Amino acid sequence: MFNSRWNLSAQKRYFANMKSNLKSLPPFAEMVRAMLERDPSYEGVFFTAVRTTGIFCRPTCTARKPLPSNVEFYATTTEALAAGFRPCHRCKPLQLIESAPPWIESLLQEIDATPDRRWTDADFVQLGIEPVRARRWFKQEYGMTFHTYLRSRRLGHALGQLTAGASIDDAAQDGGYESVSGFRDAFKRTFAETPKASRTMKPLVFSRISTPLGPMLAMAEDRGLVLLEFTDRPALPREIDELRERYGYLITPGKHRYLLQAEEELQQYFEGRLTAFQVPLFTPGAAFEVEVWRELRNLAFGTRTSYGVLAARLNRPSAARAIGMANGRNRLAIIIPCHRVCAASGHLTGYGGGLRRKQWLLDHEQRAMRLKAHIVERSHEEVGA
């Protein structure tokens, strides 16, 4: 579709780049389409370098899109930098791994220290933060306004108190509400449940985690990590509804030790330093699904298998299709590694985060394994010398 806008030299440069890349790139036309449509499923898969401006961007950059004839694609930021391009100031391709920009860390710490505080523009200014910038960040990262985030945090804390046996009066007072009736109204608007009914329900705390492949949504409770998904996964709204309606969770933004552990381990995974996750998991589901997910966790880092092999391991040789469906209902991307399951032919098959992400994860694990083997080999040589 885009052939008429390519010139021969651009195509030659593209294929030359492909040969030198440490990981494979999608077809040129596919990347052009993803760039023009700002497709979030290609985050981390490639970077767009614009020859007329000398900068390189993420696929989802909101800046004006260049002509396809003026771009080159690189698999990593290192290659784009080595080719002489500068990182875009708008989409900040070098900061994908950060969970929050440095300027907002002080704000998050203040929120944790004083959850019932009523924030004004003067409070932002005192911390050296532009109020509009802070509000825009919360809208982008959490899909809600700053004040909605604060209210949800306060009510989430109150929910934890109620489930631990605190009285409604105490929960309302600790949450900074002047009246119990106001607390009841706010609680029901947020959770669609009364404070009394919530005593038998379980809080599920969520936060967003930035990764080289795009933002992920993580949810945890005291038994373990419950959900980890790319935020653009089509099935994510259905999964959240199921956690609410079928399993009785009340979902609120906040911090949790398992969310922090998952974020740290994901960073180590993407850096190639971690091959097995240790964060505790809690996976509510049908008995067969839980059985499949448990077997998926036994798939070694850097390996691949097929649905048929999984069926044989579970002593269910005719259940390959059912196993595929259980894979699709896995709520813990990467950590329960359903990306390591392919067709018997070796071809990639469906993946909730998108096939390009699946290919990236498989390539990443292979690179990490080769690097580890190389280091071991060098160490043996040095010992022998």
pLDDT of residue 97 exceeding 50: no
Mean pLDDT within 266-291: 94
- The two structure tokens encoding residue 166: 């605190």
Q: Are strands 216-221 and 202-209 parallel, antiparallel or unpaired?
A: antiparallel
What is the model's pLDDT at position 13?
Answer: 47
What is the model's pLDDT at position 11?
Answer: 40
Residues near 258 by beta carbon (within 8 Å), at least 6 away in sequence: 220, 224, 225, 279, 280
pTM reported for the whole predicted model? 0.69
pLDDT of residue 139 exceeding 70: yes
The mean-pLDDT minimum among 111-125, 316-330, 337-351, 354-368 falls in 111-125
CA distance 45 to 18: 13
CA distance 106 to 101: 10
Considering Cα of 278, then 153, then 100, then 354, what sign does the dihedral take?
positive
What is the model's pLDDT at position 362?
Answer: 92
Q: Within 13 Å and on the Cβ side, how many CA atoms surround 86? A: 6
Catalytic residue of the set 57, 91, 338, 342: 338
Mean pLDDT within 176-199: 77
The mean-pLDDT minimum among 7-16, 47-56, 272-281 falls in 7-16
- The two structure tokens encoding residue 264: 């740290």
Name which residue leads in pLDDT, 201 or 362.
Answer: 362
Largest CA distance in the chain: 78
Mean pLDDT within 231-252: 88
Residues near 169 by beta carbon (within 8 Å), at least 6 away in sequence: 180
Which residues is 71 bridged to in the sheet?
Answer: 50
Smallest CA-to-CA distance from 212 within 374, 40, 369, 14 is with 40
Name which residue leads in pLDDT, 384 or 228.
Answer: 228
- 197 pLDDT band, cuts 50/70/90, is confident
CA distance 385 to 380: 9
- 16 pLDDT band, cuts 50/70/90, is very low
Q: What mean pLDDT is reported for the chain?
A: 82
Mean pLDDT within 170-193: 76
What is the model's pLDDT at position 119?
Answer: 85
CA distance 254 to 222: 13
What is the model's pLDDT at position 380?
Answer: 65
Domains of the chain and CATH, by start: 3-95 (3.40.10.10), 102-268 (1.10.10.60), 271-370 (1.10.10.10)
Name which residue leads in pLDDT, 381 or 364.
Answer: 364
CA distance 34 to 46: 10
Whether 88 is catalytic is no
What is the model's pLDDT at position 8?
Answer: 42
What is the model's pLDDT at position 368?
Answer: 87
The mean-pLDDT minimum among 67-81, 150-164, 361-375 falls in 150-164
CA distance 264 to 358: 21
Q: For residues 251, 252, 258 and 260, what is the CA-based torsion angle, rounded to 10 degrees?
A: 150
CA distance 38 to 177: 43
What is the model's pLDDT at position 102?
Answer: 67
pLDDT of residue 70 exceeding 90: yes
Q: What percent of the chain has pLDDT over 90?
A: 33
pLDDT of residue 356 exceeding 90: no
- The two structure tokens encoding residue 68: 């396809």
**Identity of the amino acid at 381:** E
CA distance 350 to 347: 10
Mean pLDDT within 215-238: 91
